[in-house]
C-alpha cells in the first residue's frame, strides 16, 4: 500500500519556502504488537512548527532533515493489533504530513464524531487549549478589561478573542492587513482591530485602546509587543505565547525597549507558557470548550486546504499571515 509523505528536505536559511520540502512515496508501515495503522484524514499546519526548523534555541529541539514533517491529525484506524482500538475507530495522533502512520494504540486518543472532526485539531486541540489556558490561567481576565491579541485571526488568536469576549472583556486584535481587520470585527467578534503594517500603527493602537491594555496576548513578539508595552495599564499581564514574527528568519531581532523599565514602573507581569504544562486539566478545558461550541458562544474557524501535496505551500502562506483560523489539511474522507 502506497504512502505519500512530505519530508523536510533542507533547513531554511532565511524564509521558509516550499523548496525546503519534498513529496515522496514509500510503502505504508505495518503495525507491530499493540500498534495500529492510522489513515490520516485531517492534519495540522502550525506556526509553532517553524521553530522546530530553527535549531537548538527552540523548545522543539535540534532540527533534522529527511524526516516526515511532524504534525498532529485526525485519523481512522485501518488495522489494529491492539484490544483497545478497532478498525474504523477515529483517533487523534501525531500523524505527520503523510497518508499512513503507525502508532502504539496508547498514544492515540479516541474521539467521537458528534462534532466537526476538524475541531479536534482546532478548538479541542492544542490551539484551542493554548488559547484557553494562556488567556484564563496566565492572563487572568476580568470583566470589563481590555484584551489585545496579536495574530488575532490566527489559529490561537481567533479563539483567544472569543474566549475573552465570553469573559466580558473588550477585545482588540492586530493583524496584517486592513482587509483582515474588517474580518476580525465582522466575522470573529472583535470590538476593534488594527493593522500592524500601517505606518500609523502606534497611533491606531492607541485609538483602539482608549482605556489602555490590561492583557496583551502575544503571539508575535516584535513590533506589536514593543508598541503594546507602552500602552499597558498598571498591573497588566503580557501572556507570552509565541514569537511568530521571529520564527521565519535566522536572525531574530533584539528585545523590546521598555523591558525591564516599564515592567517596573507599571508593575507588569510578563509570562511565558507552554500548553503542555496544563496537561492534567485538558479534559476539563475540552469539556468547557465543547459546551461553548455547542451553545454557539464559541465559533472556531477552521481554514481547510485540500490535499497533502499542498501542505508546504499552506505552511509558507500561513507564516506570511495568509490564514484565518486553524489551518487544516484535508487528506482523506
Residues 6+ apart with CB under 8 A from 121: 42, 43, 44, 72, 73, 74, 92, 127, 302, 326, 328
Tell me which H or E stretch contains 315.
helix 311-319
Cα distance between residue 194 and residue 148, in whole Å: 10
Shortest distance, position 133 Cβ to its own copies, whole Å:
12
213 makes contact with its own copies (CB under 8 A): no
223 makes contact with its own copies (CB under 8 A): no
CB-wise, 17 or 265, nearer to its own copies?
265
242 makes contact with its own copies (CB under 8 A): yes
Residues 6+ apart with CB under 8 A from 279: none
Shortest distance, position 158 Cβ to its own copies, whole Å:
20
Stretch that binds its own copies, among 21-29, 37-45, 188-196, 246-254 (CB under 8 A): 246-254
CB-wise, 59 or 87, nearer to its own copies?
59
DSSP 85-111: --TT-EEEE---SBSEEEEEGGG-EE-
277 makes contact with its own copies (CB under 8 A): yes
Shortest distance, position 131 Cβ to its own copies, whole Å:
15
Q: Give me 97's grid cell.
A: 504530513
CB-wise, 74 or 225, nearer to its own copies?
225
Shortest distance, position 266 Cβ to its own copies, whole Å:
7
CB-wise, 97 or 278, nearer to its own copies?
278
154 makes contact with its own copies (CB under 8 A): no
Helix (H, G, I), strand (E, B) or coil at 117: helix
Interface residue with its own copies among 76, 202, 206, 269 (CB under 8 A) is 269
Shortest distance, position 63 Cβ to its own copies, whole Å:
15
Shortest distance, position 296 Cβ to its own copies, whole Å:
32
294 makes contact with its own copies (CB under 8 A): no
Cα distance between residue 191 and residue 161, in whole Å: 9
Other CB atoms within a 10 A radius of the CB of residue 259 amount to 15
252 makes contact with its own copies (CB under 8 A): yes
Tell me which H or E stretch contains 304.
strand 302-306
C-alpha neighbours within 13 Å on the C-beta side of residue 308: 25
| Contacts of its own copies in 1-60 (CB under 8 A) | 57-59
Q: How many residues bind its own copies (CB under 8 A)?
A: 35
80: left (phi over 0), alpha (psi -120 to 50) or beta: beta
Contact yes or no for 9/66 (Cβ under 8 A): yes
271 makes contact with its own copies (CB under 8 A): yes
Q: Give me 306's grid cell.
A: 485540500
CB-wise, 233 or 317, nearer to its own copies?
233
Interface residue with its own copies among 11, 79, 104, 274 (CB under 8 A) is 274
Shortest distance, position 57 Cβ to its own copies, whole Å:
7
Q: Give me 269's grid cell.
A: 507581569
263 makes contact with its own copies (CB under 8 A): yes
Cα distance between residue 36 and residue 108, in whole Å: 9
- Which 8-state DSSP code applies to residue 132? H
| Contacts of its own copies in 110-149 (CB under 8 A) | none
Strands 269-272, 232-240: parallel, antiparallel or unpaired by DSSP? parallel
Shortest distance, position 199 Cβ to its own copies, whole Å:
22
262 makes contact with its own copies (CB under 8 A): yes
Chain residues that interact with its own copies, rule: CB under 8 A = 57-59, 218, 221, 225, 238, 240-243, 246, 252, 254-274, 277
Amino acid at each position: 500500500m502506497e504512502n505519500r509523505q512530505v519530508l523536510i528536505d533542507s533547513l531554511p536559511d532565511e524564509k521558509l519556502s516550499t523548496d525546503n520540502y519534498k513529496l515522496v512515496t514509500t510503502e505504508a508501515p505495518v503495525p507491530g504488537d499493540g500498534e495500529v495503522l492510522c489513515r490520516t484524514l485531517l492534519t495540522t499546519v502550525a506556526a509553532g512548527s517553524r521553530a522546530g526548523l530553527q535549531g537548538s534555541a527552540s523548545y522543539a529541539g535540534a532540527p533534522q532533515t529527511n524526516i516526515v514533517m511532524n504534525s498532529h491529525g485526525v485519523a481512522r484506524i485501518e488495522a489494529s493489533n491492539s484490544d483497545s482500538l478497532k478498525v474504523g475507530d477515529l483517533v487523534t495522533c501525531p500523524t505527520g504530513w503523510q497518508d499512513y502512520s503507525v502508532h502504539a494504540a496508547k498514544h492515540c486518543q479516541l474521539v467521537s464524531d458528534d462534532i466537526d472532526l476538524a475541531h479536534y485539531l482546532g478548538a479541542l486541540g492544542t490551539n484551542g487549549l493554548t488559547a484557553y489556558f494562556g488567556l484564563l490561567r496566565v492572563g487572568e481576565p476580568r470583566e470589563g478589561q481590555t484584551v489585545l491579541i496579536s495574530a488575532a485571526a490566527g489559529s490561537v488568536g481567533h479563539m483567544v478573542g472569543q474566549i475573552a469576549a465570553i469573559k466580558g472583556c473588550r477585545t482588540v486584535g492586530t493583524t496584517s492587513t486592513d482587509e483582515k481587520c474588517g474580518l476580525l470585527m465582522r466575522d470573529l467578534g472583535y470590538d476593534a482591530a488594527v493593522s500592524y503594517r500601517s505606518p500609523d500603527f502606534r497611533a491606531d493602537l492607541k485609538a483602539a485602546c482608549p482605556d489602555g491594555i490590561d492583557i496583551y496576548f502575544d503571539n508575535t513578539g516584535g513590533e506589536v509587543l514593543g508598541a503594546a508595552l507602552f500602552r499597558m495599564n498598571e498591573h497588566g499581564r503580557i501572556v507570552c505565547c509565541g514569537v511568530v514574527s521571529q520564527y521565519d528568519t535566522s536572525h531574530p531581532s533584539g528585545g523590546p525597549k521598555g523591558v525591564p523599565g516599564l515592567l517596573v514602573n507599571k508593575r507588569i507581569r510578563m509570562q511565558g507558557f507552554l500548553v503542555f504544562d496544563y496537561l492534567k486539566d485538558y479534559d476539563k478545558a475540552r469539556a468547557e470548550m465543547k459546551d461553548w461550541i455547542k451553545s454557539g458562544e464559541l465559533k472556531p474557524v477552521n481554514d481547510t486546504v485540500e490535499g497533502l501535496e499542498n501542505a508546504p505551500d499552506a505552511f509558507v502562506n500561513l507564516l506570511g499571515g495568509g490564514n484565518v483560523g486553524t489551518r487544516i489539511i484535508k487528506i482523506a474522507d
